Amino acid sequence: MVAEALDLLGAGADAADDLLRDVYRVEKALDPLDQGDFMTIVRRLSRALRGVARPAEDAALRHALERLDVDWPNLAPAARDQVVRAARQALRGVEDQVLPVVEQQFEAEAERVVGRARQSAVRRFGLRIGADLTSTDERIAKFVRESQGNFVRDEYGRRREDFSRKAKDIVTSGVERGLGRDDIVAELSGAMSRDAFDRGRDYWEVVSMVFTNRARTFTQVAAFEEAGIERYRFEAVLDEATSEVCRFMHGKVFMVAKAADRFREVERARDPELIREVQPFVQVGADRDGNQVLFYERGGRRRAVAQVDEPAVGRRDEVGDYSRALSERQIEAAGLQLPPLHGRCRSTLVAA
């Protein structure tokens, strides 16, 4: 209920912003370090990304479904594989249409987020440095747009693999159950519409949130380093929607120099898989004894961060109780000291 109310409020705020910007030509200078403005930036970018991706995805999906509309029960297994391959081929050109316009969106937004994050950090924390972009800030803007573009490129490749596996599973199951052509095609159409591409808002919203949070976080670290600030505090939102991961991290203090070194390491790791290794996300799961734990993965192994003794998800202004937890220095060594730490991470940094 709370999430639905927040979505409704967000939609109303977005509509008002759009009206001011598009009709009255008045645009608010959004502050990436302000939680409300941060979410507005994310929603706008998500809408823009969905808008440029949807036409190409819809056309490719229709083309693929046409290739799959055959008399499945009477096709030999080898012929079925050929049809699935042909349908998969119909999806192959999507990234060529989508990725250039997605990267244009990232390029424009990266410069805005980094520039405004720097200005806000200078103002909020009284940093005795200039508010204009530095060469480091420009590197950050370049990195976040290129790295996030690589993640999207990788995801399109994975979507084609998912399409192929899903289609084969549906056909095999339909034939085994003795379904006719129309029934199998109906199941394929429904599943492909849902799964061949993530056509809801969720995927692009996660992409936008990771992109925006990474841009503002790295910009803050660069500004803190330039201003000679030695430490910063991890700051979670602590509302009903806050993850167990960010509740655990809330209030922990880390070294600016270590965080700056981590950014430079992540910057050198252009490949999405390498970035995941250098700056992994933290997940929630269970250990062998059934205890709820926080963990990250590196080198194909699960590595524990903390045991959740008393969860606080769903409660405002509470962080929960944890044991067997990594120390702040161990968290730094693992590369977990900077947001985003999961797909919908809203946490930020405060100069300590």
Burial label for 182, CB within 10 Å (0-12, 13-18, 19+), is exposed
Tens digit of pLDDT for each residue in 78-96? 899 999 999 989 888 888 9
Burial label for 244, CB within 10 Å (0-12, 13-18, 19+), is buried
Which structure tokens are listed for 176?
Answer: 């085994």
Residue keyed to tokens 């390498």 = 274
Which structure tokens are listed for 244?
Answer: 């167990």
Under 8 Å between Cβ of 145 and 104: no
- Measured over the CA atoms of residue 39, residue 40, residue 41 and residue 44, the dihedral's sign is positive
Could you give the percent of the chain with pLDDT greater than 70? 91
Under 8 Å between Cβ of 284 and 245: yes
d(CA 109, CA 140): 12
Strand (E) or helix (H) holding 164:
helix 135-176
d(CA 227, CA 222): 9
Under 8 Å between Cβ of 316 and 238: yes
DSSP codes, 56-115: HHHHHHHHHHHHH-S-GGGS-HHHHHHHHHHHHHHTTTHHHHHHHHHHHHHHHHHHHHHH
Confidence (pLDDT) at 3:
46
Around Cβ 260, how many Cβ atoms within 10 Å? 17
- The residue among 114 and 272 whose pLDDT is bigger is 114
Q: Is the pLDDT of residue 71 over 70?
A: yes
Mean pLDDT of 50-79: 91
Under 8 Å between Cβ of 41 and 14: no
DSSP codes, 282-300: PEEEE-TTS-EEEEEEETT
d(CA 274, CA 32): 27
- Measured over the CA atoms of residue 276, residue 278, residue 284 and residue 285, the dihedral's sign is positive
Question: CA 58, 44, 33: angle at the middle one, nearest 5?
Answer: 145
Under 8 Å between Cβ of 231 and 248: no
Which structure tokens are listed for 326?
Answer: 């990594």
d(CA 24, CA 104): 25
Question: CA 41, 45, 49: angle at the middle one, nearest 5?
Answer: 170
Q: What is the DSSP letter of 234?
A: E
Q: Specify the pTM.
A: 0.87
Q: Is the pLDDT of residue 105 over 80?
A: yes
pLDDT-based confidence at residue 314 (cuts at 50, 70, 90)? very high
Could you give the percent of the chain with pLDDT greater than 90? 72
Q: What is the end-to-end Cα distance of the chain in Å, rounded?
A: 36
Of the candidates 351, 282, 257, 283, the residue with the CA atom closest to the CA atom of residue 33: 351
Under 8 Å between Cβ of 244 and 312: yes
pLDDT-based confidence at residue 1 (cuts at 50, 70, 90)? very low
Rounded to 10 degrees, the C-alpha dihedral 238/240/241/242 comes to: 30
Mean pLDDT of 192-219: 88
d(CA 352, CA 58): 49
Q: Is the pLDDT of residue 315 over 80?
A: yes
Mean pLDDT of 264-279: 89
- At 269, the amino acid letter reads A
Report how far Cα 178 is from the mean position of its chain's Cα atoms.
41
Cis amide linkage into residue 340, ω under 30° from 0: yes
